């Protein structure tokens, strides 16, 4: 998918002409790549105690504007991450920056 097509899809989504459920299959079809969220879900199912995939999925969801799900992923990542996890501080910043 080229940049112009991606931009058009984003504009259509943000104007409310497509729901997220309608947008994502179009993106995957046009890009020819698997959905990264699907890949992260598979990774999380394999090892639900691993913080990094939860953090990454939260970042993806934040980028898609799904702030409630991003918050859940960030909170779960904090719950399972070791106290000395190097990404704990950035994760806390990302969590604090989410809209309520």
The pLDDT of residue 34? 63
The pLDDT of residue 1? 57
Q: Is the pTM of this model over 0.85?
A: no
User: Among 42, 52, 37, which residue's Cα sits nearest to residue 87?
Assistant: 52
Alpha-carbon distance of 75 to 11, in angstroms, equals 30
What does each C-alpha distance from 80 to 6, 15, 23, 43 come to in angstroms? Answer: 35, 37, 32, 15
The pLDDT of residue 98? 95
Residues with pLDDT less than 50, the chain: none
């Amino acid at each position: 998918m080229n940049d112009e097509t991606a931009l058009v899809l984003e504009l259509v989504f943000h104007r409310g002409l497509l729901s997220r459920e309608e947008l994502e299959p179009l993106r995957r079809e046009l890009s020819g790549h698997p959905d990264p969220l699907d890949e992260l879900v598979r990774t999380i199912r394999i090892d639900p105690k691993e913080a990094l995939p939860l953090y990454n999925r939260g970042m993806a969801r934040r980028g898609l504007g799904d702030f409630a799900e991003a918050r859940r992923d960030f909170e779960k990542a904090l719950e399972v991450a070791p106290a000395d996890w190097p990404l704990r501080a950035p994760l806390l910043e990302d969590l604090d920056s989410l809209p309520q």
